[in-house]
Amino acid sequence: MYKAYFGLKENPFNINTDPRYLYLTKGTQDALNCLMHGIEARKGFILLTGEVGTGKTTLLNRLLESLHQQRVASAFVFNPRLNASQFLEYMIADFGIECKSRRKSHVLFMLHQWLLNRYQAGEQTVLVVDEAQNLSSQALEEIRLLTNLETSTEKLLQIVLAGQPEFEQKLNHRELRQLRQRIALRTKTLPLTPEETCGYVFERLRIAGSKGEELFSPQAIDAVHQHARGIPRITNLISDHALLRAFLEKRKPVSLEIVEDVTRDFSLDEGELLSEPLTQRRASSNGHGRRRTHGSRALRRAGVRLQRRAEQPVDGSPVGITQMKSPLFVYGYGPGGLPFYEQTETIATNERGGLISMHTPVEPGQRILITNKENECSQECVVEFVGARLGRGVDVAFGFPVPTPQFWGATQTEKESAGESEKACA
Length of the chain: 426
Among 326, 319, 312, 424, CA closest to 373: 326
Give yes or no for residue 406 having a pLDDT over 70. Answer: yes
Confidence at residue 2, expressed as pLDDT on a 0 to 100 scale: 85
Confidence at residue 101, expressed as pLDDT on a 0 to 100 scale: 78
Asked if residues 166 and 133 have their Cβ atoms less than 8 Å apart, the reply is yes
CA 44 from chain center: how many Å? 30
The overall average pLDDT reported for the chain is 80
* Percent of the chain whose pLDDT exceeds 70: 80
In angstroms, the CA 277 to CA 341 distance is 9
Give yes or no for residue 248 having a pLDDT over 80. Answer: yes
Instruction: Give the other-Cβ count within 10 Å of 35's Cβ.
Output: 26
Between 229 and 365, the more confident residue is 229
Confidence at residue 369, expressed as pLDDT on a 0 to 100 scale: 85
Give yes or no for residue 204 having a pLDDT over 50. Answer: yes
Confidence at residue 335, expressed as pLDDT on a 0 to 100 scale: 63
Confidence at residue 303, expressed as pLDDT on a 0 to 100 scale: 46
Between 49 and 71, the more confident residue is 49
**What global pTM score does this model have?**
0.62
**Domains recognised in the chain with CATH numbers:** 3-17+192-273 (1.10.8.60), 26-189 (3.40.50.300), 295-425 (2.40.10.220)
Q: Please state the rounded mean pLDDT for residues 177-183.
A: 92
Q: What is the DSSP string of 256-282?
A: HHHHHHHHTTS-EETTEE-SS--S-SS
Q: With bands split at pLDDT 50, 70 and 90, how would you rate the model's confidence at 220?
A: very high
Give yes or no for residue 296 having a pLDDT over 50. Answer: no
Q: What is the DSSP string of 291-310?
A: PP--HHHHHHHHHHHHHHHH
Q: Please state the rounded mean pLDDT for residues 51-58.
A: 91
pLDDT in tens, 15-34: 777 888 989 999 999 999 99
Give yes or no for residue 353 having a pLDDT over 60. Answer: yes
Asked if residues 335 and 282 have their Cβ atoms less than 8 Å apart, the reply is yes
Q: Is the peptide bond between 364 and the residue preceding it cis, with omega within 30 degrees of 0?
A: no
Confidence at residue 416, expressed as pLDDT on a 0 to 100 scale: 44
Instruction: Give the other-Cβ count within 10 Å of 358's Cβ.
Output: 24
Q: What are phi and psi of 47, to 5 degrees?
A: -115, 130
Q: Please state the rounded mean pLDDT for residues 383-387.
A: 82
Between 276 and 182, the more confident residue is 182
What is residue 424's DSSP assignment?
A: G
Among 418, 344, 349, 358, CA closest to 394: 358
Asked if residues 217 and 253 have their Cβ atoms less than 8 Å apart, the reply is yes
Instruction: Give the other-Cβ count within 10 Å of 321's Cβ.
Output: 17
pLDDT in tens, 311-351: 444 444 444 567 778 889 888 876 666 677 788 888 888 88
Q: Please state the rounded mean pLDDT for residues 214-218.
A: 95
Q: Please state the rounded mean pLDDT for residues 100-123.
A: 88
**58-72, 289-303, 339-353: the lowest-pLDDT one:** 289-303
